[in-house]
């Protein structure tokens, strides 16, 4: 009786299922993934997720098809009798290839991630001395926005506009925004979803993250690190608006919070307010 070539069968099944699936994932599914294309960083994460989803579907299907194939092809057809299988104890070459292939995948993922990270920080918090600084669009200057997290609200300070502090946020279009995230009490995390910015707010720490805006955009801000009772309610929303609109908005804030501005501490990168400790 002719021996069935299980490996070739498995390979055919694998290719037949994985190639279409991966194409669908990479070409159809992934490009429409959240958080959209509102900023350069958001587009970047969509691109990265496309790559990772492609790799993931190739690996996932390899193992899945193998398991399904084995469970069907090698099932015991007569379970009432115990029949021993072949005593195969290993295969050095397969083991070696497995190590080489998985090592290759791992190194690719790490190298890809590192390169993408160093290109512009990917929107993540980089601490007080960032090395992955994206270059601003030609002819513009980066805009500094300080995000002050406190239990349980974010407030925002604009050092370029007299250090005015407001409870709402707007930023101009086509601008590199430099978020300086800090906290006045416990650990929070500033997650501006559609901008694809996430940076933890640690007390006494200046954590810098970048977002390069494109066109007008509405975005949600949520706290994504458990910070106590009202953690679930610690959200607000902001807008990316054209420069002229931003200028009038910031002027309004300066008028409205001008009096409050005078009682604020001078703008610094981190604050140690009193009473920090016991009442």
Footprint on residues 7-26 left by another protein (CB under 8 A):
none
Burial 168-185 (b: 16+ CB within 10 A, else e): ebbbbbbbbbbbbbbbbe
Between CA 58 and CA 153 the distance in angstroms is: 43
- Are the C-beta atoms of 212 and 177 separated by less than 8 Å? yes
If one asks whether residue 112 binds another protein (CB under 8 A), the answer comes out as: yes
Q: In what order do the strands lie in the sheet with 153-158?
A: 164-166, 153-158, 143-150, 176-183, 207-212
If one asks whether residue 167 binds another protein (CB under 8 A), the answer comes out as: yes
The correct pick among 37, 39, 122, 213 for binding another protein (CB under 8 A) is 122
The correct pick among 15, 74, 160, 268 for binding another protein (CB under 8 A) is 74
The correct pick among 17, 25, 43, 113 for binding another protein (CB under 8 A) is 113
Cα R_g (the chain), whole angstroms: 26
The correct pick among 231, 245, 254, 267 for binding another protein (CB under 8 A) is 231
What tokens were used for 268?
């610094």
Task: Say what angle helices 6-23 and 40-73 make with each other, to 10 degrees.
Answer: 150
If one asks whether residue 181 binds another protein (CB under 8 A), the answer comes out as: yes
The correct pick among 9, 23, 24, 91 for binding another protein (CB under 8 A) is 91
If one asks whether residue 48 binds another protein (CB under 8 A), the answer comes out as: yes
Contact segment (CB under 8 A) with another protein among 20-28, 41-49, 138-146, 243-251 equals: 41-49
Q: Which of residues 237-276 bind another protein (CB under 8 A)?
A: 256-257, 259-260, 263-265, 272-276
H or E stretch at 255: helix 243-256
Q: What minimum distance in Å lies between the beta carbon of 170 and another protein? A: 14
The correct pick among 137, 205, 214, 239 for binding another protein (CB under 8 A) is 205
């Amino acid at each position: 009786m002719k021996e069935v070539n299980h490996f070739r069968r498995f390979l055919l099944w694998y290719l037949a299922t994985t190639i279409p699936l991966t194409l669908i994932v990479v070409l159809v599914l992934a490009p429409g993934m959240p958080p959209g294309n509102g900023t350069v960083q958001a587009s970047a994460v969509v691109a990265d997720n496309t790559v990772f989803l492609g790799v993931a579907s190739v690996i996932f299907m390899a193992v899945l098809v193998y398991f399904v194939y084995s469970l069907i092809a090698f099932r015991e057809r007569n379970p009432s009798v115990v029949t021993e299988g072949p005593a195969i104890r290993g295969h050095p070459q397969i083991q070696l290839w497995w190590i080489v292939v998985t090592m290759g995948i791992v190194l690719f993922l790490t190298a890809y991630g590192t390169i993408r990270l160093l290109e512009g920080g990917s929107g993540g918090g980089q601490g007080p001395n960032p090395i992955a600084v994206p270059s601003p669009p030609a002819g513009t200057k980066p805009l500094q926005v300080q995000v002050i997290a406190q239990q349980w609200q974010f407030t925002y300070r604009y050092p370029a506009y007299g250090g005015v502090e407001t409870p709402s946020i707007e930023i101009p279009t086509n601008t590199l925004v430099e978020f300086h995230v800090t906290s006045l009490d416990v650990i929070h995390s500033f997650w501006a979803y559609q901008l694809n910015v996430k940076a933890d707010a640690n007390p006494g720490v200046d954590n810098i993250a970048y977002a390069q805006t494109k066109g007008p955009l509405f975005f949600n801000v949520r706290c994504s690190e458990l910070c106590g009772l009202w953690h679930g309610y610690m959200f607000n929303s902001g807008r990316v608006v054209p420069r002229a609109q931003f200028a009038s908005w910031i002027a309004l804030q300066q008028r409205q919070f001008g009096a409050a501005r005078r009682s604020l501490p001078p703008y610094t990168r981190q604050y140690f307010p009193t009473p920090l400790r016991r009442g």
